[in-house]
Structure 1
Amino acid sequence: MAPTTTTTTNATTTPNALLRGGPVHLADEARTRHVDERQSHLKLSMGNCYEHFRATQETVSQHGAVLRVFDWAGRTYVAE
């Protein structure tokens, strides 16, 4: 299994993943991002919590690019 990573958006990197489901406040433009090809789990820092997404076997075509689909898997909160 690939390591869990906290990801950040890099505007200079071509998106290759689409985040599906999860928080409604996650903007559409934040749902496409670049991830390492080996990643199977994304952990996004969102204020006082982390949103977790897991890779699926599904891909979608968007604006001429093929994106791997990551489905929302849950939320954990930052310990204080």
Structure 2
Amino acid sequence: MSQRPNVILRGGPSVPDTERVLYVPDPTQRLKIFRGHRYEHFEPTPETALHAGRKLLVFTWSGCTYVAE
């Protein structure tokens, strides 16, 4: 069963707008998203944002790390 989105991502160079609203099982933890050859890291904030009538937690981009070859 699909979970309802609870997070919106802010910032970061390589995450398309269509992938910025998502469900995160533990919204108190740092989020790491694989994007090709690197991971984009997002940190939870105390902010919320209204999106499509729903209040979502805001995560902000904190940097990236590259996958070792």
Question: Considering the TM-score relative to the shorter chain, is it more than 0.5?
Answer: yes
State the AA in 2 paired with 1:19. Answer: L
Give the deviation of 1:38 after TM superposition. Answer: 4.3
Instruction: Give the distance between the partners of 2:18 and 2:5, measured in 1 at CA.
Output: 10
In structure 1, the residue matched to 2:49 is 60
In structure 2, the residue matched to 1:16 is 6
Q: How many residues align?
A: 69
Instruction: Give the distance between the partners of 1:71 and 1:27, measured in 2 at CA.
Output: 14
Q: Normalising by the residue count of structure 1, what TM-score does the alignment of the two structures yield?
A: 0.78
Q: Once the two structures are superposed, what CA deviation does each residue of 1:36-60 show, in whole Å capped at 9, x if it has no partner?
A: 2443210000011000000000001
Say which SS state the counterpart of residue 36 (structure 1) adopts. Answer: coil
Indicate how the Cα distance of structure 1 residues 38 and 17 shifts in structure 2: closer, same or farther if over 3 A, else same. closer
In structure 1, the residue matched to 2:17 is 28
Aligned residues: percent identity? Answer: 45
Say which SS state the counterpart of residue 14 (structure 1) adopts. Answer: coil
Indicate how the Cα distance of structure 1 residues 78 and 41 shifts in structure 2: closer, same or farther if over 3 A, else same. same
Instruction: Give the distance between the partners of 1:37 and 1:15, measured in 2 at CA.
Output: 12
Unaligned regions of 5+ residues in structure 2, if any?
A: none
Say which SS state the counterpart of residue 29 (structure 1) adopts. Answer: helix
Unaligned regions of 5+ residues in structure 1, if any?
A: 1-9
Instruction: Give the distance between the partners of 2:32 and 2:39, measured in 1 at CA.
Output: 6
Question: Does residue 45 of the first structure (1) align with residue 34 of the second (2)?
Answer: yes
Runs of 4+ in structure 1 displaced over 4 angstroms? Answer: none
